[in-house]
Chains A and B, each alone.
Chain A
């Protein structure tokens, strides 16, 4: 069964850090780009970052650039995001998602994890 399982969320003070993880199973992890998407309470979806299958290419939303770092360990089938300098507006459920392969480029998100909640508050 294809599955993504996030972990690492929690309550953190403003300015703090966390590392979120996403364990993948049921597919050839290294063949697909992986992404983080977040959703603030009661709000819509917001794309955060993406990393290519080999980890060589990364892209970020402007609001997290310089504070978040996406990475992956293909030997462990795990995706990560290091989130630093957290702000109240980073409070959200963070989903990891697998991107389809679409004409040799990342495409739509066909598999999603259940999400992990990050709350930034003093």
Chain B
């Protein structure tokens, strides 16, 4: 199975900050990577697919980059509603796998 290592596991940031989360795959997955946001008690929400394509309705302050084994999610100007846990997921090969998650907390 492809392992996805996500970092950091948590971070503290302030509103207006630029935040970067990374995922590294144990083998090349081309651009078959998605990013999700999850708030407590809620289902995950798709933010980005194909590594860098913004899902419809998602604010443009979210962006994704990378290909192969190294990927990044960037929030350019953190808003109050962005405090949540973020997960990456590969859908290149079965079994599909998620990163361990990054909790973005208020500093």
Contacts and interface: CB of A to CB of B under 8 A. Distances in A.
B16 interface: no
A108 B98 contact: no
B57 to A, nearest CB: 11
Contacts of A9: none
Interface in A52-100: 59-62, 95, 99-100
B interface residue count range (under 10 / 10 to 19 / 20 to 34 / 35 or more): 20 to 34
Interface residues of A, number: 24
B89 A47 contact: yes
Interface string A101-118: 010001111101111000
A45 interface: yes
**Among the interface residues A60, A99, A102, A113, which one has the most CB atoms of the partner chain B within 10 A?**
A102
B43 A95 contact: yes
A17 to B, nearest CB: 22
A116 B22 CA distance: 30
Interface of B: 1, 32, 34, 36, 38, 43-46, 49-50, 55, 87, 89, 91, 94-101
